[in-house]
């Protein structure tokens, strides 16, 4: 089947015919819902699947559809096209690994396919007897350590049980697609409707600049559920399960979380793999909480955008403790500005936090009384993407897990539970009152202080504050 790997560029409809021919050889006929995913040519795809809905086989067949075009466009004959299977651990790549290996054996014969017996890590290579180098290599990778997801940039990535990958791994994978303009297909069963995976899937639902999400309910697996949506087993599951469980785990649909104060936060837009830029001014935004969280957000202004590249987010830590941590970070040498809650200047039985920053760190803290509702709206204007460029005025690094948990993008770094900043709600989940619950918001508050201090309110530039100095 060498002709599948070489030859002149062909039209889209011919590629579809070639895919159909490969499917005939491997004995696969997609269900309509699977065909929609496989035929989608967007570069970034998310699939939220119900349990046993055929996510793994669909992902493997989407790979089968895409690599011939990659071979025509990108293979230079000197090194193989590289693809990754990435799971929350190696074991979760097993199903996709087995499908791809078996498909290659059917297409090219066992003599041309080399594959490891294990997936921890594992590899698959296509190498023809008359050629010295392989043409394709598929590697398994584990998301347990995102720092190891490096080396040779891939041509395509499949995220296996991707809903269990953390936000840092997602951001790292997205970054690794850039060098070779690789495609990324993420597939997983929803593990709840908060967190980066369901949020990003919701954002891509209508299609957006090469990004698309699909739902693959359990009942699309006609082998297990020949009656489809009305199969007796599916109807029984619906009757015996909670609505939320059935929607997420069976229908593959996100249950819209109620009461999020910043429901417009999008991990795919507002989280970037940004780093400290040495010798450029660093600003600290501080909310000196104690029992809830003591938050110090660390930002640099880069090309008119606020880059929050680090945070110190601790519980039951004094101001002295937070200063010690800050002074141990490499970026401390560039700290020139600070902003703190106005309460940070209030004298109590001991020195006020702002005074401690002055005396211990030599950093004067700017401050003003924030009008809460207007402060929230001002932060929302920074989260809003530019209508032309699609770029927001503020982004956060994946390491900022404290504030990301408040936005609902990740679990709380303190106890692993979902604890976003919410409005007050009644038993039915309806929003009541005009004020959110005053908890799980310390990073957001600190960021709001910083935004209002530097840019003012959205409509009013009134301010009464202490000017920032450093000596």
13 pLDDT above the threshold of 60: no
pLDDT category, 192, cuts 50, 70, 90? confident
pLDDT category, 2, cuts 50, 70, 90? very low
130 pLDDT above the threshold of 90: no
pLDDT category, 9, cuts 50, 70, 90? very low
pLDDT of residue 287: 95
pLDDT category, 144, cuts 50, 70, 90? confident
390 pLDDT above the threshold of 50: yes
Q: Would you state the structure tokens that stand for residue 377, as one six-digit string? A: 């709206």
118 pLDDT above the threshold of 50: yes
460 pLDDT above the threshold of 70: no
Residues ≥6 apart with Cβ < 8 Å to 263: 257
391 pLDDT above the threshold of 60: yes
Which of 40, 82, 72 is closest to 187 using CA atoms? 40
5 pLDDT above the threshold of 70: no
Q: Would you state the structure tokens that stand for residue 254, as one six-digit string? A: 């996100």
Q: What is the mean pLDDT of residues 246-266?
A: 89
Q: Are 389 and 404 in contact (CB under 8 A)?
A: no
pLDDT of residue 4: 53
Residue 2 vs residue 104, higher pLDDT:
104
Residues ≥6 apart with Cβ < 8 Å to 125: 80, 113, 114, 115, 134, 136, 137, 138
Q: What is the pLDDT of residues 66-85, one digit of tens each?
A: 999 999 999 988 899 999 99
What is the torsional sign of CA 325, 331, 334, 335? Answer: negative
pLDDT of residue 1: 45
CA distances from 396 to 90, 175, 392 (A): 29, 15, 11
Q: Are 28 and 110 in contact (CB under 8 A)?
A: no
**CA contacts within 13 A on the Cβ side of 8:** 2
Q: What is the mean pLDDT of residues 209-228?
A: 93
pLDDT category, 12, cuts 50, 70, 90? very low
**CA contacts within 13 A on the Cβ side of 109:** 7
Q: By percentage, how much of the chain surpasses pLDDT 70?
A: 92
Long-range contacts of the stretch 60-63 (C-beta < 8 A, 24+): 60/95, 60/96, 60/99, 60/100, 60/103, 60/158, 61/23, 61/28, 61/30, 61/34, 61/99, 61/103, 62/37, 62/38, 62/158, 62/185, 63/96, 63/100, 63/156, 63/158, 63/185
Q: What is the pLDDT of residues 168-178, one digit of tens each?
A: 899 999 999 99
pLDDT of residue 14: 39
434 pLDDT above the threshold of 50: yes
Q: Would you state the structure tokens that stand for residue 112, as one six-digit string? A: 């041309």
CA dist., res. 124 & res. 84, Å (int):
10
132 pLDDT above the threshold of 60: yes
Q: By percentage, how much of the chain surpasses pLDDT 90?
A: 73
Q: What is the mean pLDDT of residues 405-426?
A: 91
Residue 429 vs residue 422, higher pLDDT:
422
Q: What is the mean pLDDT of residues 191-196?
A: 82
Look-up of token digits 């001014």: 281
Q: What is the pLDDT of residues 258-294, one digit of tens each?
A: 889 999 999 999 999 999 999 999 999 999 987 789 9
Residue 206 vs residue 440, higher pLDDT:
440
Which of 450, 444, 389 is closest to 419 using CA atoms? 444
Highest mean pLDDT of the ranges 141-150, 206-215, 254-263, 317-326: 317-326
pLDDT of residue 324: 98
Domains defined along the chain, listed by start: 2-256 (3.40.50.300), 268-455 (3.30.420.280)
Which of 375, 306, 310 is closest to 342 using CA atoms? 375
- Give the dihedral of Cα atoms 103, 107, 113, 116; nearest 10 deg: 0
pLDDT category, 193, cuts 50, 70, 90? confident
pLDDT of residue 347: 60
Which of 174, 182, 249, 175 is closest to 217 using CA atoms? 249
Average pLDDT over all residues of the chain: 89
Residue 381 vs residue 17, higher pLDDT:
381
pLDDT category, 134, cuts 50, 70, 90? very high
pLDDT of residue 425: 82
Burial class (CB in 10 A: 0-12, 13-18, 19+), 135: buried
End-to-end distance of the chain based on CA atoms, in angstroms?
72
Residue 252 vs residue 467, higher pLDDT:
252
Length of the chain: 471
Q: Are 262 and 270 in contact (CB under 8 A)?
A: no
Q: What is the mean pLDDT of residues 312-340?
A: 97
pLDDT of residue 463: 45
pLDDT category, 146, cuts 50, 70, 90? low
Q: Would you state the structure tokens that stand for residue 130, as one six-digit string? A: 């008359």
pLDDT of residue 462: 43
């Amino acid at each position: 089947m060498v002709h599948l790997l070489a030859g002149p560029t062909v039209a889209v409809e011919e590629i579809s015919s070639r895919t159909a021919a490969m499917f005939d050889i491997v004995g696969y006929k997609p269900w309509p819902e699977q065909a929609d995913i496989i035929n989608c040519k967007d570069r970034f795809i998310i699939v939220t699947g119900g349990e046993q809905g055929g996510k793994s086989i669909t992902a493997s067949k989407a790979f089968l559809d895409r690599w011939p075009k990659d071979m025509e466009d990108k293979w230079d004959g000197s090194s193989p096209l590289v693809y990754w299977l990435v799971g929350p651990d190696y074991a979760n790549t097993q199903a996709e690994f087995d499908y791809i290996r078996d498909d290659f054996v059917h297409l090219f014969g066992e003599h041309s396919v080399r594959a490891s017996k294990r997936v921890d890590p594992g590899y698959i290579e296509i190498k023809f007897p008359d050629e010295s180098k392989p043409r394709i290599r598929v590697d398994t990778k584990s998301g347990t350590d995102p720092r190891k997801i490096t080396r040779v940039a891939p041509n395509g990535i499949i995220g296996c049980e991707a809903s269990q990958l953390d936000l840092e791994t997602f951001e790292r994978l997205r970054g690794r697609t850039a060098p070779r303009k690789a495609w990324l297909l993420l597939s997983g069963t929803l593990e709840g409707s908060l967190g980066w995976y369901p949020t990003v899937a919701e954002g891509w639902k209508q299609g957006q600049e090469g990004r698309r999400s699909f739902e693959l309910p359990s009942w699309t697996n006609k082998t297990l559920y020949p009656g489809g949506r009305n199969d007796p087993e599916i109807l029984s599951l619906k009757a015996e399960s909670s609505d939320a469980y059935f929607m997420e785990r069976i229908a593959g649909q996100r249950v819209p979380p109620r009461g999020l104060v910043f429901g417009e936060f999008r991990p795919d837009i507002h989280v970037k793999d940004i780093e400290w830029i040495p010798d450029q001014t660093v600003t600290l935004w501080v909310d000196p909480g104690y029992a809830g969280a003591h938050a110090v957000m660390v930002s640099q202004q880069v090309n008119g955008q606020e880059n929050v590249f680090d945070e110190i987010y601790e519980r039951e830590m004094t101001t002295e403790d937070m200063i010690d941590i800050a002074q141990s970070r490499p970026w401390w040498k560039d700290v020139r500005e600070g902003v703190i809650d106005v309460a940070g200047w209030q004298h109590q039985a001991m020195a006020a936090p702002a005074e401690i920053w002055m005396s211990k760190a030599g950093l004067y803290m700017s401050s003003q009384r924030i009008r809460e509702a207007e402060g929230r709206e001002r932060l929302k204007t920074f989260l809003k993407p530019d209508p032309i460029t699609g770029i927001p005025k503020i982004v956060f690094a994946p390491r900022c897990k404290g504030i990301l948990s408040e936005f609902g993008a990740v679990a709380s770094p303190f106890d692993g539970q979902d604890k976003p900043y919410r409005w007050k709600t009644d038993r039915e989940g309806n929003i009541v009152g005009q004020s959110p619950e005053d908890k799980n918001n310390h990073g957001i508050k600190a960021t709001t202080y910083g935004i209002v201090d530097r840019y003012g309110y959205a409509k009013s530039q009134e301010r009464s504050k202490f000017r920032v100095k450093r000596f």
